[in-house]
Amino acid sequence: SILHVHSSQHTYPIIIEPGCRKRTFAFIDQYITRKPTKYLIITDDNVAPLYLEDVVHSFPSSETVETYVVPSGEQSKSFKQYEETVTAALKYRLDRRSLIIALGGGVVGDLAGFVAASYMRGIPFIQIPTTLLAHDSSVGGKVGINHSLGKNMVGAFHQPSLVLYDPEALLSLPEREWRSGFAEVIKHGFIADKDLLEWLVTHVTSFQEWDMDILSEMLYRSIQVKANIVQEDEKEQGVRAFLNFGHTLGHAIEAEAGYGAITHGEAVAIGIVYALRLSEKCFEVNLQSAPYLEKLKSLGYQLDIPKQLSADGLLERMSVDKKAYNQVIRFVLLKAIGKPVVQGMSGTVLLDELKREVK
């Protein structure tokens, strides 16, 4: 199946099709109007042995295809790795009409996308996402790297020219990476698509066994939510904030636990549960979310805030400065499933609720 995303830069297709990585060149030929002079595939050292050959072999021998492999992991979203990647692009003599191909998860997508955004003031790139989480990161055009003072602090909006999503390529993902990415699927359901949540409850039973049709449909529906939101608000001035549902506490848990101790999605799942509870309290509603939370538990999510984290520490992380108690923190809450709002919450209320959770 195919989705089209509109942006101020251009409209680009997202193809979701088992085996499409093996026909990368054919898709580029079909969808990219200006023929690239050469290609640079950027990937990481976990993905390279699994799928790099498939992509390279899709090109006829008349094309110039270079490859560049970075170490796997968040550390590759660094100034140093950025510089080394640009150096490779220069050595391979990429010009303004060359195409960068990001083959991998969110780390490769963010790094390669930022290289594309800045190399010679910007050259085109495409995404071939290989993680579930990358259904979120490959759509919307945010690219960037980390600074020692904060994640994603340097970057750009640079839309891909094409996204080639091959569900087959996800089958090698470890269980934890499934869990990390699936939290964003659940999030998309909560903020915009109750039917998706109900569909997930019946159709997703384990991360070990996937039916290709189910996996493809899940990617399609979840990407559709993200695509609709970023189309409406490309530069994050309004509704794009709803994508932060579950992330205010989620980011705080990730940081407080120490990055890597808990995955992004595992932390976001806990953040979602907390935001649901706050929503019910704040708007005096019953969101009837029990079946969805049961599903998360059955898929191996731990939904309580880890005991070793302190409520005060988390509150401090959630606020921009240290006077968290008197401060109003902007939170994405739900008035109903599919009806998100941004609500200022007082630090005191948040802390009370946190203390109920972490004893």
Binding-site residues from annotation for Zn(2+): 184, 247, 264
251/295 with CB nearer ligand NAD = 251
> Nearest-5° angle of CA 340, CA 152, CA 254?
65
Among residues 20, 65, 70, 140, the one that binds ligand NAD under rule CB under 6 A? 140
**Cα separation of 46 and 70, whole Å?**
9
Q: Minimal distance in Å, beta carbon 150 to ligand NAD?
A: 11
- Of 10-18, 70-78, 82-90, 94-102, the window that binds ligand NAD (rule: CB under 6 A) is 70-78
CA nearest to 178, candidates 219, 128, 224, 145: 219
Among 56, 134, 305, 350, binds ligand NAD (CB under 6 A): 134
Is 236 in the active site? Answer: yes
Backbone φ, ψ for residue 212 (5° rounding): -60, -35
User: Residues 264, 266, 295, 316: which is the catalytic one?
Assistant: 264
Task: Please name the helix (run of DSSP H) or strand (run of DSSP E) that holds residue 79, with its range, or none.
Answer: helix 79-91
Q: How many helices (H) and strands (E) does the chain have?
A: 13, 11
Calpha distance 218→182 (Å, rounded): 10
What span, in angstroms and rounded, lies between the C-alpha atoms of 304 and 266?
Answer: 10
Q: Which is nearer to ligand NAD, 226 or 295 (CB)?
A: 226
Nearer to ligand NAD, 77 or 188 (CB): 77
Residues with Cβ within 8 Å of 317's Cβ and at least 6 positions away in sequence, in order, are 251, 252, 255, 256
Q: Dig out the tokens for 153 from the structure.
A: 């602090």
Q: Per CB under 6 A, which region of 83-91, 134-142, 214-222, 301-309 contacts ligand NAD?
A: 134-142
Binding-site residues from annotation: 72-77, 106-110, 130-131, 142, 151, 184, 247, 264
**For ligand NAD, which is the closer residue by CB, 73 or 291?**
73
The verdict on whether 330 is a catalytic residue reads no
3-state secondary structure of 11: strand
Q: Which is nearer to ligand NAD, 74 or 84 (CB)?
A: 74
Closest separation between CB of residue 168 and ligand NAD, Å?
A: 9
Distance in angstroms (rounded) separating the CA atoms of residues 20 and 38? 20
Cβ 73 to ligand NAD, closest distance in Å? 6
SS3 content of the chain, % helix, strand, coil (to 5): 50, 20, 30
For the purposes of burial, counting CB atoms within 10 Å of the CB of 307, is it exposed (0-12), middle (13-18) or buried (19 or more)? exposed
Under the criterion CB under 6 A, does residue 58 sit at the interface with ligand NAD?
Answer: no
Region binding ligand NAD by CB under 6 A among candidate stretches 13-21, 22-30, 45-53, 290-298: 45-53
Taking contact as CB under 6 A, which single stretch among the options 2-10, 84-92, 98-106, 117-125 is the one that binds ligand NAD?
98-106
Instruction: Give the x/- contact pattern for ligand NAD in 111-130, rule: CB under 6 A.
Output: -------------------x
77 makes contact with ligand NAD (CB under 6 A): yes
User: Are 14 and 223 within 8 A, CB to CB?
Assistant: yes
Residue 295 annotated to the active site: no
Site string for ligand NAD, 155-184 (x = CB under 6 A): --------------xx-xx---x--x----
Return the number of the residue (181 or 340) whose C-beta is nearest ligand NAD.
Answer: 181
Q: Tell me whether residue 33 is exposed, middle or buried, using C-beta atoms within 10 angstroms of its C-beta: 0 to 12, 13 to 18, 19 or more.
A: exposed
Nearest approach in angstroms of CB 95 to ligand NAD is 26
Residues 6+ apart with CB under 8 A from 119: 86, 89, 94, 100
Over the range 276-306, which residues count as b (16 or more CB within 10 Å of their CB) and which as e? bbbbbebbeeebebeebbebbeebebeeebe
Query: Among all residues, which ones are annotated catalytic?
Result: 121, 142, 184, 226, 236, 240, 244, 247, 251, 264
Footprint of ligand NAD (CB under 6 A): 44, 46-47, 50, 72-74, 77, 104-108, 110, 130-131, 133-134, 136-137, 140, 142, 152, 169-170, 172-173, 177, 180
